[in-house]
Amino acid sequence: MDVTLRSASPMLDGRQHKMATILENLTILAVEDIEASRTFYIDKMGFNEYLRVNGWSFLDRGSLNLRIGHCPGIVPMTKCQDHSLIIQANVDDANELYKEFKSKGVDVSTPEDKPWGYREFGVVTPDGHRFLFTEALRDQ
C-alpha cells in the first residue's frame, strides 16, 4: 500500500510554521427525541453516558465521543437523503462489532474489504445519523 506522509508543520512563505495540536475530538449530533436517542446509543450501540445536563447527553465508547442535544423542531437526518456527514471510527475487530450491533437490531451494512486497506461497515441510527466503522487490514 502506497502511503504519503504529511508534515506536521506546513511550509508558508518558504518557512516552517508551528501548528496547534488537536488534542481530542467530540461529535455533536442534534436529535428530536433525546430520550429515545440516548437509549439507542446506550442499549444498542454500547455507549456509556458520562454526563447528562440541560437537554444534553455526553456519551463515549472507547475513544468515540458523542454529545447529543435535544433540538425540538429540527429536520431529522432521516429526511436528509445525502451522506454529507459520516462519523468514522477505527476499531480493532470490525466483524465482532458488526455481530454485536446486528444481534441488538441495529441497522448495519455488511462488512466489506475496501481497496484502500480497510474492512468497513456502516450504521444508520433511528435519527438518520451515519457511522462508518473501519478496521485496518493487515498486509497480506
CATH of the domain at 119: 3.10.180.10
Query: 8 to each of 20, 39, 101, how far by Cα in Å?
Result: 10, 40, 36
pTM for this prediction: 0.81
Residue 16 lies in a domain: no
Residue 10 lies in a domain: no
Give the residue among 120, 76, 115, 79 at the shortest CA–CA distance from 97.
120
Q: Where are the beta strands (DSSP E) in 1-85?
A: 11-12, 15-16, 27-31, 48-53, 56-61, 64-70
Q: Do the domain assignments include residue 64? A: yes
Q: Using CA atoms, how far apart are residues 29 and 26, in angstroms rounded to an integer?
A: 10
Q: Which residues of 96-130 are buried (b: 16+ CB within 10 A; e: fewer)?
A: ebbeebeeeebebeebeeeeeebbbbbbbbbbebb
The answer as to whether 17 is a domain residue is: no
Q: For the chain, what is the domain count?
A: 1
For residue 53, tell me if it sits in a domain: yes
Backbone angles phi, psi at 127, to 5 degrees: -80, -10
Q: Is residue 132 situated within a structural domain?
A: yes
Chain segment 14-62, per-residue pLDDT in tens: 777 788 888 888 999 999 999 999 999 999 999 999 999 999 999 999 9
SS3 102: helix
User: Is 35 inside any structural domain?
Assistant: yes
Residue 114 lies in a domain: yes
pLDDT tens per residue, range 64-104 = 999 999 998 887 777 776 667 889 999 999 999 999 999 99
**Domain membership of residue 115 as a residue range:** 25-72+83-136
- When computed from its CA atoms, the radius of gyration of the chain, rounded to whole angstroms, is 18
